[in-house]
Structure 1
């Protein structure tokens, strides 16, 4: 089963956490504490389907992961993991940040699309 393009109607930015670096590429550190600063960096912007969980699914998910509030489906791409975040880009309204629990491949080929059960993230625009 392939994903229908018409269902992918939400623009989502995939971001990963990375260290702040200077112009030479060296990681920036606080000189007194040695702490390193991090920032979210865009990996890609893709089209996605964002489906809030139904009441039944939400109750069922409460048994294992109460924070799961939505399911985001994107076309398959390599290199995604649960340390990343998904930002629903909404024109004229604040962006919505989601934290994926994982990226699950489709059941048929494993190469058509990925489904990410997500909790609500915290950040700018929230």
Structure 2
């Protein structure tokens, strides 16, 4: 059995907006991606490192932040979290202790 992880609920002190992409067509028939707000959530944001790494001759986006929030089952990697003008694209997510209490998202800040 995995040990229960202690996360201080008071550390979830940043209000973020959870958003999902919605693809529509403009007047010319071109596909346009808009972001739709799903919920306002409280989370902890921790910086993890830089935003790019080299793979061959390509810059590859890298995880830049770890975002911890109360468990939600409706979050996916196509979504993002937003704090004001800052946008965090969700790369991976997991339950840190399999208790169903918290969700840790590894995210890439979009510039």
| Alignment TM-score > 0.5, same fold | yes
- Shift of residue 42, structure 1, vs aligned partner: 0.4
**Pick aligned residue for 1:112 from 91, 94, 101:** 101
| TM-score calculated relative to the size of structure 2 | 0.76
Deviations along 1:7-62, one digit per CA (max 9) or x if unpaired, are 10111111001134xxxxxxx443x4x32333100011100000112xxxx48xx6
When residues 40 and 104 of structure 1 are mapped into structure 2, their CA distance, relative to the original with a 3 A threshold, is: same
Which of the two has greater helix per residue?
1
Shift of 1:4: 2.1
Q: Which has the higher strand share?
A: 2
Q: Which residue of 1 aligns with 2:36?
A: 41
Compare 64-73 and 42-51 and name the one that shifted more: 64-73
Please give the secondary structure, in 2, of the residue aligned with 1:6. helix
Normalised to the residue count of structure 1, the TM-score between the two structures is 0.68
Inter-partner Cα distance in structure 1 for 2:103 and 2:54? 23
Q: State the match for 1:24 in structure 2.
A: none
Runs of 4+ in 1 over 4 A off after TM superposition: 62-66
User: Which residues in structure 2 correspond to 1:77-88 (within 5 Å)?
Assistant: 77-88=72-83
The structure with more radius of gyration: 1
5+ residue gaps, structure 2, are none
Q: Would you say 1:6 and 2:10 are equivalent positions?
A: yes
Aligned residues: 101
